Amino acid sequence: MPLEPKTPAPTVAVEDYAKAIYALSHDGRDAVATTALAERLDVTPASASAMVKRLDEMGLARHAPYHGVELTDRGLQLALEVIRHHRLLELYLAESLGVPWDRVHDEAEVLEHVLSEELEELIAVKLGDPERDPHGDPIPSRDLEIVELPTDTLASLEPGARGRFVRISDSDPHMLRYLAERGIAPGADFEIVDKQPFGGPSFARFGDAVHVLGGELASRMRVEVER
């Protein structure tokens, strides 16, 4: 029987490009600009352009020259697979090994490319097939379905509004540590007590304590509003 063309295992860089395209198109299906990709991955546009061409040849993306890239089905699968690895690892490291939540991201960023399917499965089972990572990001299911719920930012709420803090970017350790020190984590209910205009801080009550959340921070905290 003739050997199949046998796709070589994707490299770390290829996986990172797939993830980046997914993140920038926000569901992997919209076209992403080369420049945006280059900026996110901290390479020159020329490098991103070349790499995108390779992803296309590999069947992971469709590249319409001068009009952006989007992931193919296979590319989307790859991105979601790596994201599943990443988020499962983050949660696992936090829960089982006690790694502080502001540091799980960097560890997962490396391990995600190396985790075997067998370990992925064992971890998922051990964690009880979790739906969210420590930062509130949804974890793609075993069959790579992912549900991205639309959210508001805490900064957009006016005094009197109540809601639940559900999600925050995992990439800024300082913000995460700041929140951790105050015991604020995704899942926490709050009420807006006061708010200053023009990017000023929001004052939010979590439990008994009122916290001051700077405009920058408040605009990165994603919330579900209670209606």
Partner DNA sequence: GTTCAAAGTTAGGCATGCCATAATTTCGGC
Partner DNA sequence: GCCGAAATTATGGCATGCCTAACTTTGAAC
Binding footprint of DNA on the chain (CB under 7 A)? 8, 11-14, 33-36, 41-54, 63, 65-68
118 binds, among a copy of itself, Mn ion, DNA, none (CB under 5 to 8 A by kind): a copy of itself
Told to check if 170 binds Mn ion by CB under 5 A, we report: yes
Told to check if 112 binds Mn ion by CB under 5 A, we report: no
Q: Going by C-beta distance under 8 Å and a sequence separation of 6 or more, which residues neighbour residue 91?
A: 104, 127, 130, 132, 133, 134, 139
Question: From the CB of 192, what's the least distance to Mn ion, in Å?
Answer: 25
How deeply is 39 buried, as exposed, middle or buried, from its count of CB atoms within 10 A (0-12, 13-18, 19+)? middle
Told to check if 83 binds a copy of itself by CB under 8 A, we report: no
7 binds, among DNA, a copy of itself, Mn ion, none (CB under 5 to 8 A by kind): none
Told to check if 99 binds a copy of itself by CB under 8 A, we report: yes
Rounded CA-CA distance 63/148 in Å is: 25
12 binds, among Mn ion, a copy of itself, DNA, none (CB under 5 to 8 A by kind): DNA
Q: Which of 110, 148, 159, 183 binds a copy of itself (CB under 8 A)?
A: 110
Specify the residue, 56 or 95, whose C-beta has the smaller distance to a copy of itself.
95
Cα–Cα separations (whole angstroms), residue 181 to 37, 115, 172, 174: 34, 31, 15, 11
- Across 159-178, b (16+ Cβ under 10 Å) vs e yields eebebebbbbebeebebbeb
Indicate the SS3 state at residue 211: strand
Secondary element (H or E) of residue 178: helix 173-181
- Considering only residues 75 to 104 of the shown chain, the ones binding Mn ion according to CB under 5 A are 81, 90
| Cβ count within 10 A of residue 80 | 22
- Range in contact with Mn ion (rule: CB under 5 A) among 16-24, 48-56, 170-178, 189-197: 170-178
Question: From the CB of 67, what's the least distance to DNA, in Å?
Answer: 6
Told to check if 119 binds a copy of itself by CB under 8 A, we report: yes
Sign of the torsion angle spanned by Cα atoms 44, 50, 52, 54: negative
Q: Which of 122, 182, 187, 207 binds a copy of itself (CB under 8 A)?
A: 122
Q: Can you give the binding site for a copy of itself, defined by CB under 8 A?
A: 93, 96-99, 103, 107, 110-111, 114, 116, 118-119, 122-123, 126
